[in-house]
Amino acid sequence: MSDIRTFVLLAGLTALFLVVGMALGGRDGMMLALLMAVGLNFWAYWNSDQAVLRMFNAQEIGPTQMPDYYATVQALARRGRLPMPRVYVIDDPSPNAFATGRDADHAAVAATTGILRLLTLEELAGVMAHELAHVRNQDILIGTLSATLAGAITALAQFGLFFNTGRDREEGGSGTAGLLMALLAPVAAMLIQMAVSRSREYGADALGARLCGNPLWLAAALHKLEQGSRQIPLAAAEAHPATAHLFIVNPLSAGFLAGLFSTHPPLSERIQRLRAMVP
């Protein structure tokens, strides 16, 4: 169901891109915006993992530095028949974790010191299984595709805002339709992109629960993280909110329309689904 929902949302982004492109930029403007978005996201796909790890000052560890954490990831990777990812730790009291990397052969997982202190080994296994599920499900690629389309829509909207509406006014029109399209299209694209991210979280929860062998481990972890992440927001993520979708729970402090613009589904719904997996 998660894959079907993702396909529908990506199709919706594609349709929105075509409509906005033809309305604001014409065929030439549409292709220019797409090429720009593809170029930027191609670079991000190949380089964003190291950029994100540096952004959070993540330090790579080996099997002797944090043996329980490393061994947990190693066992899960073996069970999921995945290459062993690089393992990182982030020195931050906010409890959270994420996975990155363009494919399974170049994957990395990172956990904060906060989450390592907060969770039991079983709960940590649930969290790391969720992150490895993202790797196995190719969610980094899917996120890049949605970002490419959303970025192209935003570029087209800006093109229309600065050129088309001005031309309409010169020709005696009000430019209202073009202005509304330019303002609303990026918002719509962002909402669809975030819906893609939320859909992939459900899929990673389900696969992660099967990978670790007990859905209740991940459910218990999410319950603890719901409280811990609210009490201690992740400062580096607050400074770089575009990275929020990477984390297992939203690392940002709640704000206006937080639920609508969240990259994560409600934790209560995720926990309920996990508990329903228990026979």
Quote the CA–CA distance of 75 and 260 in Å, as a whole number.
37
Q: Report pLDDT for 6.
A: 62
Quote the CA–CA distance of 142 and 10 in Å, as a whole number.
9
Q: Which of 60, 122, 123, 131 is catalytic?
A: 131
pLDDT tens digit string along 175-206? 565 666 667 777 777 777 777 777 789 999 99
Quote the CA–CA distance of 273 and 75 in Å, as a whole number.
25
Quote the CA–CA distance of 158 and 153 in Å, as a whole number.
9
Place of tokens 């906010």: 94
Cβ proximity of 131 and 109 under 8 Å: yes
Closest by CA to 111, choosing from 79, 48, 68, 64, is 68
Quote the CA–CA distance of 102 and 140 in Å, as a whole number.
6
Q: Report pLDDT for 172.
A: 45
Closest by CA to 88, choosing from 71, 70, 64, 75, is 70
Note down pLDDT in tens along the chain; length 279 residues. Answer: 556 666 666 667 677 777 776 666 667 766 776 777 677 667 666 766 788 899 899 999 999 999 999 999 999 999 999 999 999 999 999 999 999 988 899 899 999 999 999 999 999 999 999 999 999 988 877 776 677 677 777 777 776 666 654 555 444 444 565 666 667 777 777 777 777 777 789 999 999 999 999 999 999 999 999 888 888 888 888 887 777 788 999 887 755 344 445 678 889 999 999 999 998
Does 131 participate in catalysis according to the annotation? yes
Quote the CA–CA distance of 41 and 149 in Å, as a whole number.
10
Residue 273: count other Cβ atoms within 10 Å of its Cβ: 16
Total H helices, total E strands in the chain: 11, 4
pLDDT tens digit string along 227-241? 888 888 888 888 877
Q: Hey, is 184 helix, strand or coil?
A: helix
Q: Which residues contact 227 (CB under 8 A, 6 or more apart)?
A: none
Quote the CA–CA distance of 120 and 2 in Å, as a whole number.
29
State the first-to-last Cα distance of the chain, in angstroms, to the nearest integer: 20
Q: Report pLDDT for 173.
A: 45
Q: Report pLDDT for 41.
A: 64
Q: Hey, is 247 helix, strand or coil?
A: strand
Q: Hey, is 108 helix, strand or coil?
A: strand
- Residues paired with residue 112 on neighbouring β-strands, in sequence order: 90
The sheet with strand 86-90 has its strands ordered as 59-61, 86-90, 108-112, 97-100
Quote the CA–CA distance of 197 and 215 in Å, as a whole number.
21
Element (H, E) at 38: helix 26-55
DSSP per position, 162-173? IIIHHHHHHTT-
Phi and psi at residue 109, to the nearest 5° = -120, 145
Q: Report pLDDT for 225.
A: 93
Q: Report pLDDT for 76.
A: 97
